[in-house]
Chain A
Amino acid sequence: MAVKLVPSRSTVLMAPALAWLTALMVVPCALVLALAFFRRGIYGGVDYTFTLENFANAVDPLYAGIFLNSARIAGLATLIAVVVGYAAAYAIAAAPRHRQPLYLFLAVLPFWSNYLIRTYAWIVLLNREGLLTQLLRWVGYTGEPPSLLYTEGAVIAGLVYNYLPFVVLACYAPLARLNPELREASRDLGGSALTTFRRITLPLTLPGVAAGAVFVFVLSIGNFVTPALLGGGRFQMIGNLVYDQFLAANDWPFGAALAMALIAIMMALLMLQAFAASRAEGRQSREGEEAGRG
């Protein structure tokens, strides 16, 4: 077999991205992974002797509990974001075609401001003298102002708010592409509106739902800004724990082990989603070709 000396066009085109990812993603991740196998130095820092105890500690019920709690909060945020986002995407896809770009633009408008600023806005909204309390007073409520900030609800609200546009975009694409005659065919064959949604619309747009859901979940479970600001540090999530190990407890190796566990969970989910999407995509693209021929 002849050795190819001239790199192919696709290699050339991919090289910058690969170099970027290698230098800024793969190498740092490898360093963090390596760190997880060493001991914590007595005065902080790292003692370079091999150990597995960081991973053993990571599965300690205390930390496993935080993992589970993070998963629960991220799961709730995902569920709410998917329901709200799918409904919004459905409405946008059903709107007159020339107005759809405007609605999509409005849906992603929050991205134009900084994540921190958006999260601080929620503090202004939720705190004891915040806008919500004032609204309650204005409609005649006189009792003790409700404590909305620094609750699990506030954390979930913040996560949903920040990641909702991803769900809207991910769900809009398959909904807009769905042949409206499929829904009509279901109605024509005797299906109610609900049955039509359950058996036709939803299954055919599920790849978008899955993509949006995985996105929200992965970004939520590792998030540390929102729990810190809206949860007031009272609701520890994995992200906060990792943050604390690196910056407060100065236990880098244990922080690295926790981070690796989190990355493993995220990778598993992303790969599962990519696998499911590629299967669904294969089916849809074949359909597209068929339709194009007709």
Chain B
Amino acid sequence: MTSERVLLGIEAVTKRFGTVTAVDAVSLAIRENEFFALLGPSGCGKTTLLRMLAGFETPNAGRILLDGKDISAIPPNRRPVNLMFQSYALFPHMSVRANIAYGLEMERLPASEIRARTDAIMATTQLSAMADRRPDQLSGGQRQRVALARALVKWPRLLLLDEPLGALDKKLRGAMQLELKRLQHEVGITFIMVTHDQEEALVMADRIAVLRDGHLLQCGTPNEIYERPAGRFVADFIGVTNFIAGKAAPGGVVAAGGLLVRGTRPDALADGADAWAAIRPERLALFPGPEAENRATGTVETTAYHGLDLQVHVRTALAAAPLLVRVTAEQAERRPVAAGDTVEVGWSAADTRIFAKD
């Protein structure tokens, strides 16, 4: 399990390409045995940050400390850090076994040890049966496992994964998410994964750092990030959120039509400033009980059946966009709604987060 000991310290690291600042003074502390995710849309700087950790880019400012030692200037082949490439970058002219053994050969280990460790990792990653095949004779999932085995066999202090599941189809991805997580526990190596897929980060990571335009927006556990997003961008990027625009007022946000939406206000927000009230769709209820401090009446615009839940769009006077309400299948069965119905939507102030307009 994750310990409290910090393995990797990223201290105010900045990377510029010409006039573009790809990573801007990002600081993070990654703990021993942690499964850490760098999450953000493309161009947020997550891959540049990963490449600096691997040694393929050098920071313009800041330090990267591994076990307390600054590794910023150490070339990639001398770092106890390995990277699993998004394209896998398997050597096409070598067999699976030769690909995996390559990194150990570079360490000039005795042949018997290379063989033993290669065999062991192939067993762990279920590749033993295809040791003599070449990469072009493997399926996507198998190639992904070879790439993983090739990096893991070196027993790195830190394993970097660049969109590790990006090249797999959706069904396989789900299975590999759990598989990768299980493997990380088994080998006890710290993983840092880059992904643009928020669901993947939530499912796999112990902690997530959300990046945007080279800036670190928030770092926390999946639960913290989901339940207490630091701003509108994070709330919007992770999961689905209803936003109601308005002006900050005592106790909440005054929305269109002068209605007060009650919620938790950040201290920095002054009365009268432009603000957003944000509510997760699963926190909204149709036919609310008396505990719901916020209420609005509206018309059902569409309903969409998703198996586990029914997603209902309700047009209200509060916001330009209809509110999305997720009703469990069970509730929907008990009190069915249809397009055109007039319904009341309610939610508690505790579930309403208020952000400054950025």
Q: Which residues on A are within 8 Å of B, measured CB to CB?
A: 179, 181-182, 184-192, 195, 199-200, 203-204, 283-284, 286-287, 290-291, 293-294
Contact = CB atoms under 8 A, between A and B. Distances in A.
Contact of B93 (A189, A204, A293): A204
B89 A185 contact: yes
A184 B89 contact: yes
A184 B77 contact: no
A189 B143 CA distance: 17
Contacts of B87: 179, 181, 291, 294
A188 B167 contact: no
Given A192-B77, A283-B92, 20 more contacts: A179-B89, A184-B76, A185-B89, A185-B91, A186-B91, A186-B102, A187-B75, A188-B54, A188-B56, A188-B82, A188-B83, A188-B151, A189-B103, A189-B106, A189-B151, A195-B106, A203-B93, A283-B134, A293-B140, A294-B87
Contacts of A195: 106
* Residue among A188, A284, A286, A291 having the largest count of chain B Cβ atoms under 10 Å: A188
Interface in B96-115: 102-103, 106-107
Contacts of A181: 85, 87, 89
A195 B135 CA distance: 21
B103 A190 contact: yes
Would you list the 4 A-B pairs with minimal beta carbon distance, nearest first?
A190-B106, A189-B103, A185-B89, A181-B89
A196 to B, nearest CB: 8
Contacts of B140: 293-294
A184 B85 contact: yes
A290 B151 CA distance: 21
Interface string B144-182: 000000110010000000000001000000000000000
Given A195-B106, A291-B87, A189 B56 contact: no
Contacts of A189: 77, 82, 102-103, 106, 150-151, 154
B76 A187 contact: yes
B136 interface: yes
B237 to A, nearest CB: 25
26 contacts: A181-B85, A184-B83, A184-B85, A185-B83, A185-B90, A185-B91, A186-B91, A186-B102, A187-B55, A188-B54, A188-B55, A188-B56, A188-B151, A189-B77, A189-B103, A189-B106, A189-B151, A190-B78, A190-B107, A191-B77, A199-B102, A287-B136, A290-B135, A290-B136, A290-B143, A293-B140
Interface residues of B, number: 29
Nearest to B82: A188
A199 B106 CA distance: 11
Interface string B55-96: 110000000000000000001111000110101011111000
A92 B151 CA distance: 31
A181 B88 CA distance: 8
Nearest to B93: A203
Nearest to B144: A294
Contacts of B77: 187-192
A200 B78 CA distance: 18
B66 to A, nearest CB: 15
A60 B90 CA distance: 53
A187 to B, nearest CB: 5
Contacts of A283: 92-93, 134, 136
B253 to A, nearest CB: 46
A185 B85 contact: yes
Contacts of A294: 87, 140, 167
